[in-house]
């Protein structure tokens, strides 16, 4: 059973930066797509960004393009989400997920098989 371990998150002021990391415990990301989703209470999980481990192609939600960067470190078997110019609307619980979606489904949370426990991000005004 793959367990995704997330780290990072916290409280930051508007315009600040945070860095989230995700590592598969006891496994690797080989052959998988790794994505970040965020969720507010009472709302569905929202796609943020994704990266294919093989090849490294990336995808972003329009709301984070130019501010967030998803990257992979093969030596550390880790995917990182660098979040810059944070806004209050970026607040939420961020989840790392891995799966093998086709391109047209890469933004769909239902396609991803493995999930992390979530990490809190709060952006104050």
- Sheet of strand 68-73, all strands in order from the earlier edge strand to the far edge: 3-7, 18-25, 78-83, 68-73
- pLDDT value of position 55: 85
pLDDT of residue 26: 85
CB atoms within 10 A of CB 16: 14
Helix, coil or strand: residue 30: coil
pLDDT for 41 equals 84
Whether the Cβ atoms of residue 46 and residue 35 lie closer than 8 Å to each other: no
| pLDDT per 10-residue tile (average), the chain, 125 residues | 92 98 93 95 94 93 98 95 97 96 93 96 96
Residue 17: both structure tokens together: 């930066």
pLDDT value at position 2?
Answer: 84
């Amino acid at each position: 059973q793959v367990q995704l371990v997330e780290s990072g998150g916290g409280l930051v002021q508007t315009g600040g930066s945070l860095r989230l990391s995700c590592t598969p415990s006891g496994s690797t990301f080989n052959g998988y797509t790794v994505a970040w989703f965020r969720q507010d209470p009472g709302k569905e999980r929202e796609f943020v960004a994704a990266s294919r481990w093989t090849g490294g192609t990336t995808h972003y939600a329009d709301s984070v393009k130019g501010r967030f960067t998803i990257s992979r470190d093969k030596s550390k078997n880790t995917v990182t989400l660098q979040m810059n110019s944070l806004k209050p609307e970026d607040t939420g619980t961020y989840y790392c997920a891995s799966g093998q979606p086709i391109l047209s489904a890469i933004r769909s949370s239902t396609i991803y098989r493995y999930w992390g426990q979530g990490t809190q991000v709060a952006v104050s005004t």
